[in-house]
Amino acid sequence: MDGKKTYILGISAFYHDSAAALIAGGEILAAAQEERFTRKKHDPSFPERAVQYCLEEAGISIKDVNIVAFYDKPFIKFERILETYLAYAPFGVKSFLSAMPPWIKQKLFMKEHIRDILGYKGEIIFPEHHHSHAASAFYPSPFNEAAILTVDGVGEWTTVSFGKGNSDGIELLEEIRFPHSLGLLYSAFTYYCGFKVNSGEYKLMGLAPYGEPKYVDKILDNLIDLKEDGSFKLNMKYFNYCTGLTMTNKKFDKLFGAPPRKKESDLTERHMDLARSVQVVTEKVIMNMAKYVQEKTHLRNLCLAGGVALNCVANGKLLRDGPFENMWIQPASGDAGGAIGAAFIGWCEYLKGSRPREENKDSQKASLLGPSFSDGKIEKFLTENDIPYEKVERDVLPEVTAALIAQQKVVGWFQGRMEFGPRALGARSILGDARSQEMQSLINRKIKFRESFRPFAPSILEEETEEYFELKGGSPYMLIVAPVAGNQRISNEGTSEFKGLDKLKIKRSTVPAITHVDYSARVQTVKREDNAVYYDMMKKLDENHSSPLVINTSFNVRGEPIVCTPRDAYKCFMRTNMDYLVMGSFIVDKKKQPRERLRIEEIEEFELD
């Protein structure tokens, strides 16, 4: 079969962050999450719009697709659901089946569901969930061979797996099974601290540095039996996720001295200490696992995937102190990335296709795999909706934008193909000056409308990384937390009395807006070959304003997905206190917009299409 004309569509759906990905001849052509099109954050529904985008990007129809690969085995997942419920529920099989939610029926009849929605008549395959995670990590990686570690909440029965990948494919060697799950342990504390499960885990991670690890021993003594090889069992007496509608129970409440925090209530030092403690335990578990995996495989490279691989603090510690020389993490390492993994399994393992790769370079294309909009389309949108704008030449756009950032302006940045995965990587970003003491608070309160404790990440020119951070090698996908370099730090003797959120008052470095309270930052390194216009803008900021890094946070507000279209970008821009919107070659100045559009209620009703 001619690889260049062999199209494989990968799909993930029905848990959270559903997505579609299309590959041909081993090349990733397109990938996107359904949430970006439906505007429902973490949308779990069948990714019909994402599929349509992928097909349009390749210029094909569903009839041209050779294989559809779904990212897990729906029959296994249904079996797990049925067994779990019947083991505890006080009703029989007939009652259970009659009350079966629609999404379970869709899982049970997945093949027919795919055919009905897509009008697809070709071959459909169902790799296992953690096999899809493993494939999403290894096949796009820059390595000829590597150990593979996948860690998530649960996929089918598996919660952790490890194995190895090479020219012969992927071999998974060992696993840990539900209900024992590191991801669900972290989610239990996410729930207990008042954040939403499957979306608030990164908030818990951001909260951790404000606290002290006071509960580590209590967690290790009561909740998790951890072995030296990284294997573990949870004490299910403290958890409710197998049988109820909550993550924890009253025994858990008693152990930690209070009921779960109510959503939006005040965060106390206790919550910060809990966050820090479970973060420390998580890092210890992952380090133990990594050491065991290296001992078993004797390999120098490690690939990571699964939702827990988004814990960039643990990733940074593993990179600095772990047994592997090199690491590569799937940028969409949660369920969304399973779509890419499933597609690669279809090509590399089912069809035995070759894995095209460049030496020391991954094939993820900087994860810029989503929709793009030409200047023509952007200008048409602006003019048809009477939006005042200024057009600038592409060669001066970087310099103009850099000047705005240096003037302490907050810029919405909309360029090129949208990112695949949860991180903004310089295509759908909100940018600000990392040197500003006030910028972190300003963007949190007046632009993102989110919790004040949340840190911001920097993008930095890759060649300048070691001047600002203790990080060797690149971090192009913003998945590594690294310490701020000593020469950039500011001494803070006499400030030990600051506790909890008061730590925000302390200036810690020459780039305070991106320096977390523990002197760390979640770093994205930028190369010109990955994102030329973003790199050029940062280069001008360095040359003209002496700063090779910027604040880079996702272009969205709290509770909404990252923007996808010009309409999404303008709406978000107008609902916040951003100063400028830079879309393609066009600059939109907030001060020049019609006053009636500055009111949120007006924007909600204003038809932009």
Please give the Cα distance from 11 to 27 (Å, whole number).
16
> Which residue intervals of the chain bear CATH 3.30.420.40?
3-140+333-363, 154-329
**pLDDT confidence band for 520 (50 / 70 / 90):** very high
Please give the Cα distance from 346 to 348 (Å, whole number).
6
pLDDT of residue 604: 43
**pLDDT confidence band for 102 (50 / 70 / 90):** low
| Number of Cα atoms under 13 Å in the Cβ half of residue 597 | 18
Is 375-490+499-605 in CATH node 3.90.870.20?
Answer: yes
**pLDDT confidence band for 441 (50 / 70 / 90):** confident
SS3 state at 420? coil
Per the structure block, which two tokens stand in for 327? 């690491």
* Whole-prediction pTM: 0.91
pLDDT of residue 87: 52
Query: Is the separation of the CB atoms in 328 and 362 below 8 Å?
Result: yes
| Number of Cα atoms under 13 Å in the Cβ half of residue 342 | 30
Average pLDDT over residues 14-28: 94
Mean pLDDT check: name the lowest of 33-47, 345-359, 435-449: 435-449
**pLDDT confidence band for 606 (50 / 70 / 90):** very low
CATH topology of domain 3-140+333-363: Nucleotidyltransferase; domain 5 (3.30.420)
**pLDDT confidence band for 243 (50 / 70 / 90):** confident
Query: Is the separation of the CB atoms in 302 and 324 below 8 Å?
Result: yes
Query: Is the separation of the CB atoms in 161 and 175 below 8 Å?
Result: yes
Q: CA nearest 169: which of 303, 14, 353? A: 353
* DSSP letters spanning 193-245: TT--TTTSHHHHHHHGGGS--TTHHHHHHHTEEE-TTS-EEE-GGGB-TTTSS
pLDDT of residue 454: 79
> Which residue intervals of the chain bear CATH 3.90.870.20?
375-490+499-605
Q: CA nearest 289: which of 228, 219, 215, 206? A: 228
Mean pLDDT check: name the lowest of 187-201, 229-243, 492-506, 568-582: 492-506
Query: Is the separation of the CB atoms in 182 and 151 below 8 Å?
Result: yes
Q: What is the CA radius of gyration of the chain?
A: 24
Q: From the options 3.30.420.40, 1.10.3720.10, 3.30.1330.20, 3.40.720.10, give the CATH code of 154-329.
A: 3.30.420.40
For residue 499, is pLDDT > 80? no
Q: CA nearest 279: which of 231, 216, 229? A: 216
Mean pLDDT check: name the lowest of 320-324, 383-387, 491-495, 540-544: 491-495
pLDDT above 90: percentage of residues in the chain:
78
Residue type, 22: L
pLDDT of residue 579: 96
Please give the Cα distance from 302 to 528 (Å, whole number).
26
pLDDT of residue 3: 46
Average pLDDT over residues 11-16: 92
**pLDDT confidence band for 2 (50 / 70 / 90):** very low
Please give the Cα distance from 366 to 424 (Å, whole number).
11
Q: Which class for 148: exposed (0-12), middle (13-18), buried (19 or more C-beta within 10 A)?
A: buried
Largest CA distance in the chain: 72
* 14 φ/ψ sector (left φ>0, alpha ψ -120 to 50, else beta): left
* DSSP letters spanning 488-537: GB---TT-TT--GGGGGGS--BSSGGG--TTSEEEEEEE-TTT-HHHHHH
Give buried/exposed letters for 477-512 (b at 16+ CB in 10 A, else e): bbbbbbbbbeebeeeeeeeeeeebbebbeeebbbbb
Please give the Cα distance from 123 to 110 (Å, whole number).
13
For residue 380, is pLDDT > 90? yes
**pLDDT confidence band for 497 (50 / 70 / 90):** low
Residue type, 403: A
Please give the Cα distance from 553 to 446 (Å, whole number).
14
Q: In this structure, how many other beta carbons lie within 10 angstroms of the beta carbon of residue 398?
A: 20
| Number of Cα atoms under 13 Å in the Cβ half of residue 178 | 18
pLDDT of residue 442: 83
